[in-house]
Amino acid sequence: MFTCVLIDKNGDSYTSTLTEVNEDALPAGDVTVDIDYSSINYKDALAITGRGPIVRAFPMVPGIDFAGTVADSTHPDYAVGQPVLLTGWGVGEKHWGGLAGKARVKGEWLVPLPENATAHQVMAIGTAGFTAMLCVNAIRQHGVKPEDGPVLVTGANGGVGSCALLLLNALGYQVTAATGRVAETDAQLRALGACEVISRDELSQPGKPLQKERWAAAVDTVGSHTLANVCASMKYDGVVAACGMAQGLDLPASVAPFILRGVTLRGIDSVMVSQQKRIETWKQACELLSPEALEKISHTVPLSQAIDVARDLLDGKVKGRVVIDCRA
């Protein structure tokens, strides 16, 4: 038996409960993992609360990432006792996920724990930090250098945003942080590396198709009008790495920034990234996001509090990253 968060649906009744399940109930897979840590991401919160159509099959154990130790394996690349991590691949949506004491998955979904990293560290980074690293890499691959001008991060208090701040600061970029709670979080965001903190209200309403050039690049976690205004405010040949939809799926934008300023809109997906790219990205993230740096943006709670944390996250009461101790 192991403890897990279990989501079920019967007609219109949607429930998320902390319960115990027999290991025989685990889905098919060639590697079984004893989970040490998971985390609560925005997608997890939507799944647990039922506020978004995340879960594709019921019952479902949510949790789109986890880290632990191989307990059993028939996969040639993984041996019993090996530390591993997982993000993406529909885990926690279509396949039982990480908010549990155990998981059984396909070996090709796993990544060996980076050298000198810990399970707690990689879950403080989690899917959010992994996504942030992909966004920052997209900016660097576009050729944007620190001397080219400030980089904007929207949703800066969230998991992706706070990790992006740390990463960009570590790489020497000047960062502008956009948040809905300027007075409350200004000092904290500056401690993470923001040189300027602005209100999300500057970006969240309908705006002109082409606006004053402000940023050389951006990491956008919000979408909708915010993303449209970000694109309209980019410097010539700027790039926007878009990875979120907190404000909405729509993009009420004009082609003007793309045609008249050569702006690039780069979509960032963290779910289906190739194995080699995952390994490289995780190595980078663990090198740039030390346990000491991650303490600034994360805290740890037991699995028994995961459901409450999910509700708080969607209600705007959570800052940064929440690591879930699945052993507790």
Calpha distance 87→15 (Å, rounded): 24
Beta-strand relationship, 298-302 and 321-325: parallel
Number of Cβ atoms within 10 Å of the Cβ of 308: 12
Reading phi first (left if > 0) and then psi (alpha if -120 to 50, else beta), residue 126 is in left
Convert the pLDDT of each residue in 77-131 to its tens digit.
999 999 999 999 999 999 999 999 999 999 999 999 999 999 999 999 999 999 9
Calpha distance 48→5 (Å, rounded): 8
The set of residues, in sequence order, having a beta carbon less than 8 Å from that of 24 and lying 6+ positions away, is none
- Give the chain's residues under pLDDT 50: none
Q: Which residues of 208-246 are buried (b: 16+ CB within 10 A; e: fewer)?
A: eebbebbbbbbbbbbbbbbbbbbbbbbbeebbbbbbbbb
Number of Cβ atoms within 10 Å of the Cβ of 18: 15
Calpha distance 144→74 (Å, rounded): 44
Counts for the chain of helices (H) and strands (E), in that order = 9, 15
Residue 42: closest CA among 324, 285, 246: 246
Quick one: pLDDT at residue 154? 98
Tell how far CA 296 is from the center of its chain. Answer: 16
Q: What phi, psi does 77 have (nearest 5°)?
A: -90, -5
Residue showing tokens 């945003």: 161
**Both tokens of residue 91?**
């885990």
Identify the three-state secondary structure at position 12: coil
Domains of the chain (ranges; CATH) run 2-113+297-325 (3.90.180.10), 126-267 (3.40.50.720)
Q: Within 13 Å and on the Cβ side, how many CA atoms surround 281?
A: 26
Identify the three-state secondary structure at position 244: coil
Evaluated on CA atoms 242, 93, 57, 246, the torsion sign reads negative
Quick one: pLDDT at residue 316? 86
